[in-house]
Amino acid sequence: MTLFRFCNCTLIRNHALIVDDLWIRHGKIIDPEKVFFDERIQADVEYDCRGVLVAPGYIDLQINGAFGHDFSSPDEASEEMLLLVAQKLTAHGVTAFVPTVVSSKPETYKAVLPKYKRRAGSAKDGATILGIHIEGPFIDEKKRGAHRTDFLRTAPNGIEDLLSCYGSFNDVSIITIAPEIPNMIETVIPELVQKHNIVVSVGHSIASLDIGERAVCAGARFITHLFNAMLPFHHRDPGLVGLLTSHRLPTTSIVHYGLIADGIHTHSAAVRLAHRVHPQGLVLVTDAVPALGLPDGTYHMGAEKILVENKRATIAGTQTLCGSIASLAECVQNMRQALLDGEISKHGEVKIDKQFVVECIDAATLHPASVLHIENQKGTLSFGADADFIFLDDKLNVLSTFIAGEQAWTVNDSWSINNLRTKNSSQ
């Protein structure tokens, strides 16, 4: 079995930047010491990475569509469409994602959801499909955002009502609900978590902090796009935002929160605030609409027509934001700039803090993997993990994307795997 060595690179590993080689065999990252001392062999193929930064591949937990394709459209839904998006996302450093379906009619869910099955990624087929994120329709009308009012549902009697709406929980990884809806905390959340192994996210909600805390104690572990579609922070009742500093939550797990760092949904000061308060829970998401990767114009998402102008996507004829057109790579760059701006404003010109780079990349890799409890497999360059990784330049531009150790995309021929191969390779 071929043993690969990627040398002359800086790795993100164990929350730090380290100068080391990356060893890969059979699509996994391996410990070179075991190779040296147990097998006593050298690498079959070596690649010179030219001093590049090597990071785990990005993971997007909330993406509604991309490149003109809408995950909530029964007319478009197919394994072929999802495969096409998975392939194109590699150009943005994404090696795994969770296609998101917005509030829809029951017949739409039953037509769409069976088409989106979990699937391992590859250099040929693109990013891994990590299940489905269903956002709605059990959300609060007052914070519905771009979700259609006539599609919303409230007060389920129990898990059976959700099942009758969606048709099945097969391949569902995340469900966003408003915890203030009756029966959510008492019955629905615990059953989704304990019996169906689904991550419950709270969002599109007017919940108080107390309700949010009770939802987390019942099993919820994620917050859908923090600050957006929820009550604003108030000093007498911080709402769901207050979960970031609550002392009444279980100590056994971290509450993570999605953050859309596209420069439109979340001000850079709010990015810095969330990061300083609860950095280990920050998960960068795109909340991308089908216009991701396309020029300004008119598009559709679900039953809504959306207008994209100057990187801003709104429901046509309104000023209501309906998602982002930023890639996850851009969100990582925007978060880094937001953190740097905060340091510059306090101290004047500062050297780039390498730890900021690590924390921004962790927010798009390790943290989303932790939400899905796959942090030993994805979102890391630790030994034994899947060999999903990306090359980044000093501005965090994506130069190349690898899935299971094979190159899935490269920015140009100079970063082609064939041009990185060294003369020391034995094969």
pLDDT of residue 40: 74
Instruction: Calculate what percentage of the chain has a pLDDT beyond 90.
Output: 89
pLDDT tens track for 78-110: 999 999 999 999 999 999 999 999 999 999 999
Phi-psi category of residue 227: left, alpha or beta, with phi > 0 → left and psi -120 to 50 → alpha: left
pLDDT of residue 337: 95
Q: What span, in angstroms and rounded, lies between the C-alpha atoms of 218 and 212?
A: 10
pLDDT of residue 427: 52
Catalytic residue positions?
A: 287
pLDDT of residue 348: 66
The mean per-residue pLDDT over the stretch 247-263 comes to 94
The mean per-residue pLDDT over the stretch 222-236 comes to 97
pLDDT of residue 350: 62
The mean per-residue pLDDT over the stretch 191-210 comes to 98
Amino acid identity of residue 80, one-letter, is: E
Q: Give the pLDDT band of residue 301 (cuts 50, 70, 90).
A: confident
Q: Any binding-site annotation on 43?
A: no
pLDDT of residue 415: 98
Q: Any binding-site annotation on 236?
A: yes
pLDDT tens track for 338-349: 999 888 767 666
Judged against a pLDDT cut of 90, whether residue 363 lies above it is answered with yes
Q: What span, in angstroms and rounded, lies between the C-alpha atoms of 299 and 66?
A: 11
pLDDT of residue 425: 62
The mean per-residue pLDDT over the stretch 104-132 comes to 98
Helix (H, G, I), strand (E, B) or coil at 348: coil
Helix (H, G, I), strand (E, B) or coil at 55: strand
Q: Any binding-site annotation on 204?
A: yes
pLDDT of residue 424: 66
Q: What span, in angstroms and rounded, lies between the C-alpha atoms of 238 and 234?
A: 5
The mean per-residue pLDDT over the stretch 68-75 comes to 96
Q: Any binding-site annotation on 322?
A: yes
Q: Any binding-site annotation on 321?
A: yes
The mean per-residue pLDDT over the stretch 403-422 comes to 97
Nearest CA to 85 among 68, 72, 101? 68
pLDDT tens track for 307-326: 999 999 999 999 999 999 99
pLDDT of residue 88: 98
Judged against a pLDDT cut of 70, whether residue 238 lies above it is answered with yes
> Do the bridges between strand 3-13 and strand 256-259 make them parallel or antiparallel, or are there none, so unpaired?
unpaired
pLDDT of residue 303: 80
pLDDT of residue 161: 97
* Residue 222 in tokens: 């994620």
Q: Any binding-site annotation on 192?
A: no
Helix (H, G, I), strand (E, B) or coil at 144: coil
- Cβ–Cβ under 8 Å, residues 15 and 22: no
Q: What span, in angstroms and rounded, lies between the C-alpha atoms of 383 and 276?
A: 30
The mean per-residue pLDDT over the stretch 67-73 comes to 96
Rg over alpha carbons for the chain, rounded to the nearest Å, is 21
The mean per-residue pLDDT over the stretch 8-15 comes to 95
Q: What span, in angstroms and rounded, lies between the C-alpha atoms of 427 and 422?
A: 11
The mean per-residue pLDDT over the stretch 129-149 comes to 97
Q: Any binding-site annotation on 135?
A: yes
Q: Any binding-site annotation on 229?
A: yes
Q: Give the pLDDT band of residue 145 (cuts 50, 70, 90).
A: very high
Helix (H, G, I), strand (E, B) or coil at 18: strand
User: Per-residue b/e over 352-367, b at no fewer than 16 CB within 10 Å?
Assistant: eeeebbbbbbbbbbbb
Amino acid identity of residue 133, one-letter, is: H
Angle at 123 between CA 121 and CA 128, to 5 degrees: 15
Q: What span, in angstroms and rounded, lies between the C-alpha atoms of 135 and 323?
A: 12
Q: Any binding-site annotation on 239?
A: no
Mean pLDDT score across all residues of the chain:
95
Q: For the chain, which domains are there?
A: 3-56+382-420 (2.30.40.10), 58-371 (3.20.20.140)
User: Per-residue b/e over 120-130, b at no fewer than 16 CB within 10 Å?
Assistant: ebbbebbbbbb
Nearest CA to 94 among 266, 258, 286? 286
> Do the bridges between strand 199-202 and strand 222-223 make them parallel or antiparallel, or are there none, so unpaired?
parallel
Helix (H) or strand (E) holding 3: strand 3-13
- Cβ–Cβ under 8 Å, residues 381 and 11: yes
The mean per-residue pLDDT over the stretch 390-406 comes to 97
